[in-house]
Amino acid sequence: MKVVLLSGGSGSRLWPLSGETRAKQFLHLLPGGESMLERIYGQLSKAGLAEQLTVVTGAAQRDSVLAQLNESSVRVVTEPRRRNTFPAIALACANLYFEQHCDRDETVLVLPVDPFVPDSYFAALRELEPLLDDGAQLALMGARPVYAAEKYGYILPADGVASGTLSSTVSEFLEKPDRATAAEWIDRGALWNCGVFAFRLDLMLRQLEKRIACTSYADVLKQYDALERNSFDRVLLEKSSDIHDIRVVRYRDSWIDIGTWNTITAVMEQNPIGNVRMAADCGNTHVINEIGIPIVVMGAKDMVVVASPDGILIADKEQSSYLEPLVQGLTKWTGTIGIT
C-alpha cells in the first residue's frame, strides 16, 4: 500500500501566520512544539506506513517539507501550480506509476496533513484496503460527528444510524451544509468526511487517460493545467459515473481538523506566545505575537489574537473559522497615518 500525503495548501484560515511559503502545516504550534507535518509523519512512522510515503506539495513549500522531515528517503511530488486536490492526487498517482514503477493494481491511500488524531486513527486506516479486496472501488474514512459543523463534508452510510458495523456502503455525500441541514444528516447517521481515500492505482490512471494523453510523468507535468481545478470529492464522489461501489469505515475515536484558529487553539499547550500580557479576567483566549511591540489583552472571552509581520487578527474563536474569504487578496499597508 502506497501512502500519499497532501501537504500543499496555503492555510489561509490560519492567517496571518500562514501563507504561500510558510503554510499551516509548518507552524510549530502543536504540543511539544511540533508542526502538523512533523506530527503526522511521526505517527505514520510508528504505524509502519512512512516507508511507502509520497508527499505532494507546492514548489514554494518543497524545501520546507524536506527540512522538517529531515529524511532524504521521503519522496516529494511538486505541483507546478496549486490546482486543488483532484489534480494533486492525479499527479501523485502518475508519479507512482511512471517514476516509482508501481503496478496498476497497487493500493493508494490518500491522507490530508491537518487532522489531530490519536494513533488509533492510523490503525483504522488499515481497514480500508480489505474493502477494496472485497470489490469496492473507493474506500473512505468517516468520523463520528460531535456537533453540526458547517465546515466539513458529510458521508451518509446506506444503513444509516442503526448500524453498529465497522464499514458500510455509502448512500450520499453532502459538502459543507448549513447548520440545520448538517443536524438533519447527523440524525440520519451521517459521518464527517475525513478526506481519506483508498483506491487501486488503476482507478486514477484511467481518470488521467480520459483527460490527457500521457505516456510519461513528464507528459502529465506539461499538461497539468488541462486537469480541472476541482476537489477529488467533487470529481470522483459526486460527478463520476464510473464509480458505483463506495464504502466507508466508521472511525469512532477523536478526530479534529486543526485547519482553523478555533480548532488548533483547542490543542495548543503554550499560551500566550511572544511579548504578551494577559489580564486575569481573560477567558478561553489565545494570543500569539511574532512582532516586536507588546500586546496587552484585557477582558477578552473566547477570542484569538495573532500578530505577525503580515498582519494582525482579532477574532471571536467560532467566527475565526470563516476567516478565509476576508483575507483573500490582502496586501500589506505601506502608507502612513498621521495622528495629531
Count of domains for the chain: 2
User: In which band, very low, low, confident or very high, does the pLDDT at 334 lie, cut at 50, 70 and 90?
Assistant: low
What string of H, E and C letters represents the secondary structure of the chain? CEEEEECCCCCHHHCCCCCCCCCHHHCCCCHHHCCHHHHHHHHHHHCCCHHHEEEEEEHHHHHHHHHHHCCCCCEEEEECCCCCHHHHHHHHHHHHHHHCCCCCCCEEEEEECCEECCCHHHHHHCCCHHHHHCCCCEEEEEECCCCCCCCCEEEEECCHHHCCCCEEEEEEEEECCCHHHHHHHHHCCCEEEEEEEEEEHHHHHHHHHHHCCCCCHHHHHHCHHHCCCCCHHHHHHHHCCCCCCEEEEEECCCCEECCCHHHHCCCCCCCCECCEEECCCCECCEEEECCCCCEEECCCECEEEEEECCEEEEEECCHHHHCHHHHCCCCCCCCCCCCC
Q: Does one domain contain both 200 and 284?
A: no
pTM for the model stands at 0.93
Instruction: Tell me if 332 is assigned to some domain.
Output: no
pLDDT, tens digit (0-9, with 9 covering 90-100), for 36-50 = 999 999 999 999 999
Q: Does one domain contain both 177 and 42?
A: yes
Q: Does one domain contain both 194 and 288?
A: no
Q: Does one domain contain both 194 and 305?
A: no
Instruction: Tell me if 334 is assigned to some domain.
Output: no
Q: Does one domain contain both 233 and 278?
A: no
Weakest-pLDDT range from 21-25, 96-100, 201-205: 21-25
Q: Does one domain contain both 109 and 190?
A: yes
pLDDT, tens digit (0-9, with 9 covering 90-100), for 237-270 = 877 777 889 999 999 999 999 999 999 999 999 9
Q: Does one domain contain both 171 and 199?
A: yes
Q: Does one domain contain both 100 and 124?
A: yes
Q: Does one domain contain both 298 and 253?
A: no
Instruction: Tell me if 266 is assigned to some domain.
Output: no
Q: Does one domain contain both 57 and 77?
A: yes
Structural domain that includes position 283: 271-327
Q: Does one domain contain both 193 and 307?
A: no
Q: Does one domain contain both 288 and 240?
A: no
What is the CATH number for 110? 3.90.550.10
